[in-house]
A and B are shown apart, each in its own frame.
Chain A
Amino acid sequence: MPREVRVLPHRPASSDSVEWGPLWLTVNGHREPAGDLVDAWDYASETVVDYDVRLDLDMVRSSTGLDETATIAVATKVDCPTALTRLTSAVPYTGEDGPVTSISLSIPAGSVADAIVITRHLIVLDPPSPAPDGVADRAGARLHEAPRTRVRLEGAGGRFPTEAVPFSELGLEPAAWRVDLTCESLDNAFLGAVRLIVNTEHPAAAALDAGHEAHDMILTALRCDVVRQLLSRLAFDNTLEVDERGYEDGSVGSVLETICDLHLGRDLPSVLELARQDAPGFEMLAQARLGFLSKVPT
């Protein structure tokens, strides 16, 4: 899936004018580069995001068309979709202390959960009004953006959210597994919305152990079934609308779009239309592209 490109209605800062330094996270006094997963974090942890940014202010102004009356600022955003919260700071840049500015943002203990997405931006705080054609003329206008960084605070990395229980104790039919999707919109976080509930009493559960001879084969069946159940559910659920503008990383919509693009070779709307109009065709597409039962033990 192509990376999202933001088209701005005004002149952006040139790439040469901004150099974003690496991101760092300090958790309970221990500082390390911001990676995929944070160690030893919990709801009592004090967390600080920090980094350096180098600006060539003259080049920023010449490329954006913003003169010295406009305040350029470095903005940092820590976004937590799961906790429905966002922390932001905007530090005006003057260049008086040299081309490099150090930025830090504290995340209060207990305010975020699951994962955070850190983005960094160059913005204008008080642009000229009126402004020349093509020059940013609204406060908060984005001028440049660093690649986003997603940091997992909790959980076991990117593993599919799974629970294993004996179905007889729960009064469920003795199926191999159940795929559960509970969300109010496709914007909801995927890891919170979806569950694979495996029946520990079913023979397939034993085969999901890595050492089992049928492990690879059962895994192909499981993957195929999870994908087709999720897409089928979406195809026939009138309350879940597909947004053509796309979805945030980690959301139900984003994950399903990626699955369709990478594994089924079609975009999400096309796959859903196929599921509605040609059920056998949809099933065959899923089986063929996801390798259903392709690894039969010899």
Chain B
Amino acid sequence: MTVYVYPRLGRALALARLEEVRRAYTQGIGAVTELALAEHPRAAPVATGGQVPTPDELWRIRSEVMDRVGPWLESGELLRGHAGDFDRTLGAALHELLQIIPADAAHEGPWSFLSIVLLPDILAARFPTMHEDRALGTGRNVLRRVWIREEILADLHHSGDPPLGEDELVGIFERSAVVRNRPLARYLAQAVLAHRDASARSEFARELYKRVRRTTGPLLLDALPDTQVAKLVDAVAGSITQGSP
């Protein structure tokens, strides 16, 4: 059940705080960990509509998140090849522990607070250059991007051998007009995971997304029962596999 709204850090203050985190990182990840805080004097949540976690609750959330992703961060930086597992674990942890109201999660401020104030070491470890678009709470934010993947794909985020790769996920999420049809997003993910040739899967995914997007003009896919959406995706997937135009 989602009940919480989180303190919001405005863009200007987030940029200033980010500079502090970057300076600390020159001393190592430990210095960034020491900067983590459960509150900011100029971060305030939306006025009404949800419960606000106390600083103690925020600190507990931080502790539990760090427990789950800690094994990947022992060296202070995410090792090559581990990003996918890390992101999936982080996404699941955030989704379970934050219990953030989706309307609050739609805003930049809460994610800027969570990334740069409460969990700056995760930001630094996952994206050491700490580019603004990973630190600020917009769509590519280090935490927000994995939370929304967990929110929309749920179990599919953790399925498959191999699971959906970064390119395959970006392909679903980069066109928000498609991903806002959440059943469609899930059927696309399922179709990609079901593709037999794992080595060519990313190429198949790109073609699948492109062809399905083309159908959205004359058709109102959102109004169809899930079973018909699934049939449409399967038909497009089949046509690609058979080499049909």
The size of the chain B interface, using a CB distance under 8 A, is 47
- Binding-face segment, A83-91, A208-216, A270-278: A83-91
B103–A113 CB distance below 8 A: yes
Q: Contact between B103 and A84 (Cβ–Cβ < 8 Å)?
A: no
Our count of residue pairs bridging A and B at CB distance below 8 angstroms stands at 150
Query: Taking the complex as formed, is B218 at the interface, i.e. its CB lies under 8 A from any CB of chain A?
Result: yes
- The stretch that binds B, out of A17-25, A48-56, A137-145, is A137-145
- Check: B74 CB closer than 8 A to any chain A CB: no
Encode A102-145 as 1/0 by CB contact (under 8 A) with B: 00000000111110000001010100000000000011111000
Bound-state Cα–Cα, A163 to B16, Å: 13
Pair B218/A8 contact, Cβ less than 8 Å: yes
- Which one of A44, A83, A112 lies within 8 Å of B48 (CB-CB)? A44
Contact A184:B133 (CB < 8 A) given known A110-B103, A113-B106, A171-B16: yes
Chain A min CB distance to B183 (Å)? 10
Q: Contact between A195 and B107 (Cβ–Cβ < 8 Å)?
A: no
**A75 smallest CB distance to B (angstroms):** 4
- Kindly identify, within residues 51 to 104 of chain A, every residue whose CB is under 8 Å from any CB belonging to chain B: 73, 75, 77, 79-86, 88-90
Q: Does B108 contact A (CB under 8 A)?
A: yes
Answer whether residue B2 sits at the interface, using C-beta atoms and an 8 A cutoff. yes
Contact segment of B53-61, B90-98, B171-179: B171-179
Q: Which of B11, B174, B177, B218 contacts A197 (CB 8 A)?
A: B11
B157 to chain A, nearest CB (A): 15
Stretch in contact with the other chain, from A185-193, A223-231, A256-264, A288-296: A185-193
The 8 Å CB contact of B180, one of A84, A178, A188, is A84
**Do residues A140 and B219 form an inter-chain contact, with CB atoms below 8 A?**
yes
A73 to B182, CA, bound (A): 21
In this complex, the member of A82, A140, A180 whose beta carbon has the largest number of chain B beta carbons within 10 angstroms is A140
Contact B49 A44 (CB under 8 A): yes
Cβ-defined partner of B222 (8 Å) among A44, A77, A188, A248? A77
Total A residues in contact with B, Cβ cutoff 8 Å: 54
Shortest Cβ gap from A277 to chain B (Å): 27
A78–B91 Cα distance when bound, in Å, is 27
Asked whether A6 is an interface residue with its Cβ less than 8 Å from the other chain, the reply is yes
Pair A111/B176 contact, Cβ less than 8 Å: no
- Tell me the B199-245 residues at the A interface (CB within 8 Å): 217-224, 228
Residues A170-201 near B (CB distance < 8 A): 170-172, 178, 180, 182-185, 187-188, 192-193, 195, 197
Nearest B residue to A111 via CB reads B102
List residues 154-189 of chain B with CB under 8 A from any CB of chain A: 174-177, 179-182
A195 touches B11 (CB 8 A): yes
- Does A244 sit at the interface, judged by CB under 8 A? no
What are 6 A-B residue pairs whose CB atoms fall within 8 Å in the complex?
A: A43-B46, A83-B106, A110-B102, A184-B138, A184-B140, A192-B138
12 additional A-B pairs beyond A44-B49, A45-B49, A123-B223, beta carbons within 8 Å, are A6-B217, A43-B104, A75-B220, A88-B222, A110-B104, A113-B103, A125-B223, A163-B11, A170-B12, A170-B16, A183-B139, A184-B139
Task: List the 4 closest pairs (A to B, CB-CB), nearest first.
Answer: A43-B49, A170-B16, A42-B49, A113-B106
